[in-house]
Amino acid sequence: MKKRYLATILIGVLLVALAAALWLRPRERLPLVIGGLPAPCRDLSFEAVPYVVCEIDLNSYDVGLFHAGAEGKPYGSLEAFDKAMRGLGRPALLAMNGGMYHEDLTPVGLLVEDGRERAPLNLADAEGNFFLKPNGVFLIGRDGKAAVMESSAYAGAKPDSVFATQSGPMLVIDGALHPRFDQNGTSRYVRNGVGVRDGGTVVLAISRSEVSLGSFARLFRDALSCRNALFLDGVVSALSDGDRMIVGGKYPAGPIIAVSARKTAQ
């Protein structure tokens, strides 16, 4: 009995020591994860569809567009992008596929990466979601503000964009839903998109199950208060936290939207 009593005490001491070690270990990564999601993100249910929604305050986070590495070769997937960023010592807090692409992974429309235009604005008419007019552009301007603009309006305004990606269709246009959407159409896929609130908040959303374009658009307008929002992709929609996939799998990706903590001045 005495040996069993001593063993019980020893186990208790070890458990306390382990808990203390876990509590006192370096915690740089811990504040970034809440309930298994990066800190800016949360689970949300809207019209019986589950989503991950990430509301990015541009005062605290940087948002960028990425497509190819130093050798000019497209990353090709979120997993490859995350691996490359970790290798550079600049892991992303989260990454999401950021626009449609051709079979060779080149963007279908405009891509501006770090102030350089990698692909031109595409105002052509054709088949497919990208060309379901009006389509639009998500951008981060030189002034640090974000916007979602209809493509022809972007062409006319010629904003000074540091990052920009074109996709389509627009989901919400100045508070109105895309005029060609059914209320709840039969085309249902996992989808992801981006909206902007007040120029200082970027809202990324991805469904965890299939959803119609109509319902997805209402999510941005009615639940997320975005007067302008843009569809990014479907079927291959994915979201990672820099280490693991949260939604989606080993899908190909062309343009990639990534979020990182804003660097503070030294």
Q: Residue 262 has what pLDDT?
A: 85
Distance (Å, whole) CA 90 – CA 82? 9
Domain ranges of the chain: 29-261
DSSP 133-195: SS-EEEEEETTS-EEEEEHHHHHHH---EEEEEEES-EEEETTEE-TT--SS-S--B-EEEEE
pLDDT digits (tens, 9 = 90+) for 203-224: 999 999 999 999 999 999 999 9
Q: Is the separation of the CB atoms in 240 and 66 below 8 Å? A: no
Q: Is the separation of the CB atoms in 177 and 217 below 8 Å? A: yes
Q: Residue 115 has what pLDDT?
A: 97
Backbone angles phi, psi at 7, to 5 degrees: -65, -40
Distance (Å, whole) CA 66 – CA 75? 8
Count the neighbouring beta carbons within 10 Å of the beta carbon of residue 240.
24
The yes-or-no verdict on residue 23 having pLDDT over 50 is no
Distance (Å, whole) CA 65 – CA 213? 24
The yes-or-no verdict on residue 192 having pLDDT over 80 is yes
The predicted model scores a pTM of 0.85
Q: Residue 79 has what pLDDT?
A: 96
Token output for 160: 């000074």
